[in-house]
Structure 1
């Protein structure tokens, strides 16, 4: 009787098993959410997006990564638990998030490390290893280390290795990356007003019809027209795929 019960249990478990999800099924789900895969690599599960256009070239995307609407990456590697905002332009061969090894222990090898994975978090509360704001331009072959926050509107020069936080609207380059001649993209007052405006929450068509070529003209336009525009906060609607 016990043998029969075990067999019956085995049959019941087998009966409720779901068919494996194929890569084609997952790619179709990504496409339905607006994620365009241009290379041969499919983001690992789970991948978090807003629904809306995200373009991924020949890039390896690890699990638990978040990419906002209208951002793209040409090629490279995004390790794990990285958050990328909207309207980000990421070049070729870019690495975001790097492994952490203990240089003070007997060995740097992870085989001697405790089972718990030690990660440097840019945002400990939300457990994000790298946080990249909105409208960030990352040049080709740049490397952004784990534990770094890259501010909205900033520019990272090609080949830079970013080891520390990058201030909003600043321009950094070199190894390790530093502000280039103290540059910011616009006068500080304009940078502050752009951050306060949260323009990336506005509808795309409204932005396209605005005088976006000039930040000052855009801010004046927004003061006159902003109240009538519906906003969509970042990740107010999230899809886990």
Structure 2
């Protein structure tokens, strides 16, 4: 029997086509759900498990989400680790009106933006670790280097390199990952802009040693600012 190759090719516009386009941009889909259009990335590896991704979401390279839901207009930086069953961005309902139903709401429903100028509903920095079943409400900014404990409900902004947990989420344990000086120097270093191979060859196991290494070697390293090669997919 002669195999008709054309017969097994997916029609234009199918999820297979969409997944192929995403794969070409470095987005790895491990679950059965395809991010809604437009999906914004900068090129480079991004891994999405069984997660529902709404439109106008941005995910930086080397970040991954295992499963959950990202609502709309969320920006996630580089090197973020997002666990299972995580919700980022929540709906808005008017509890002071006759009904909380959106059917009666005006067409231009008020949305609380974390970044009103760029109309981002949630902004998550770089190197953020979000534990399983965490929920981050619309209008929240999570700073670079922060850790969100499993099951936390984040209702307010989270400072860079802080550790929060609980309902509602508050600082826990050491409260911050490193000393104030080290946190400030890491933020100033913008290490997430450096080439991956350079980071792998650095003493990344110790922030203090890394900063010393960067002082000696950083000047000659090429930098790639976040979203410098933005693409709508």
TM-score (normalised: structure 2): 0.94
Work out whether 1:41 is the aligned partner of 2:39: no
Of residues 208, 216, 221, the one that matches 1:224 is 216
| SS of equivalent residue, structure 1 residue 183 | strand
1:154 aligns with 2:146: yes
- 1:30-63: CA deviation from partner (whole Å, max 9, x where unpaired): 0000000000000000000010000000000000
Deviations 1:148-181 (A, max 9, x none): 0000000000000000000000000000000015
Aligned runs of 1:113-128 on 2, under 5 Å?
113-128=105-120
Mean CA deviation greater in 110-119 or 133-142: 110-119
1:203 corresponds to 2:195 = yes
Alignment match, 1:67: 59
- Correspondence for 1:103: 95
Match of 1:89 in 2: 81
Structure 2 stretches of 5 or more lacking a match? 1-10
Aligned residue number for residue 3 of structure 1: none
When the two structures are aligned, how many residues end up with a matched partner? 223
Match of 2:157 in 1: 165
1:138 to 119, 130, 147: 130
SS in 2 for 1:59: strand
State the structure with more CA Rg. Answer: 1
Q: CA RMSD in A?
A: 0.9
Structure 1 stretch displaced more, 174-183 or 161-170: 174-183
Shift of 1:117: 2.8
- CA distance in 2 between counterparts of 1:32 and 1:117 reads 36
Flag as ranges the 4+ runs of structure 1 deviating above 4 A.
none
- Could you give the per-residue CA deviations for residues 97-127 of structure 1, whole angstroms, max 9, x where no partner exists? 0000011111111000001132110000000
Q: Distance in 2 between matches of 1:193 and 1:104?
A: 45
